[in-house]
Amino acid sequence: MIKLLLVEDDASLCYMVKSSLEDLIGGYEVIIANNGKEGLDAWKEHRPDIIVADIEMPVMDGREMVAKIREIDGDTPLLFASGHVTPKDVIEGYQIGANNYIKKPFIAEEMDAHIQGILSMKEGTRSKNQSRIYAIGNRQLDAEHCLLKSTDGKKKTLTPRETGILELLCENKGEVVRREVILSRFWDTEDDYFASRSLDVFVTKLRKHFSDDPFVEIRTVRRVGLALEENLIDANLI
């Protein structure tokens, strides 16, 4: 069953889409939010498989909601649904982080086809790295089993939170991952003093795992976030 978050301020359309999709073979669980703020809260609570959002809504519009979600979650597929889709709208939507557009009015079968296509593409991309194994200097992170393996055969067991943080840094190797993104994902908060200090402790632990590898660095960018960096050029010269 596909868990769908529908963010739409038209109550009649919500009812039609929810009842139609939930009647389809294979089935959907449809969660309704009536504006972008409710949608953001529902995304945090339910972690849907896919999001379909209107653009123009009260309180918080679809663009702002999607931008906030994409600050933390770049993986969940997202479709914009709108009755007025101009080339400018499409470009802006893709720049914000939408995966596709569907034009109103639409029928449930049409939306289902869009959703199935996007989820199939996502599954195909995921299968390329479903092992969740990442090379980091002279070590290898096996995120599936929370293990950090070195080239001499030694293994260290990491905690699930250590593994999650390190995997997130691996997925964005060489790029800065903002602190609020890490805190939101692993502590369910973006601005809490004690959670922030706890993150610092975990970073210190992770750095110790690589203390004997001069070519790997978990770098702190002050007031911004963390970056996992490898100085592979220098390493290859030795």
Both tokens of residue 169?
Answer: 């840094």
Across 111-139, average pLDDT: 77
Amino acid at 58: P
- Distance between CA atoms of 129 and 219, rounded to whole angstroms? 25
Numbered ranges of CATH 3.40.50.2300 in the chain: 2-127
According to CATH, where is 1.10.10.10 located in the chain? 133-237
The Cα 182–Cα 195 span in angstroms is 10
Q: CB-based contacts of 171: which residues, under 8 Å, 6+ apart?
A: 134
**pLDDT recorded at residue 234:** 47
| Cβ(4)–Cβ(30) below 8 Å | yes
pLDDT recorded at residue 129: 54
Which class does domain 133-237 fall in? Answer: mainly alpha
Each residue of 14-43: pLDDT tens digit? 998 899 888 886 789 999 999 999 999 999
pLDDT band at 132 (very low <50, low <70, confident <90, very high): confident
Q: Could you tell me the two tokens for 30?
A: 């449809």
What is the CATH topology of the domain spanning 2-127? Rossmann fold (3.40.50)
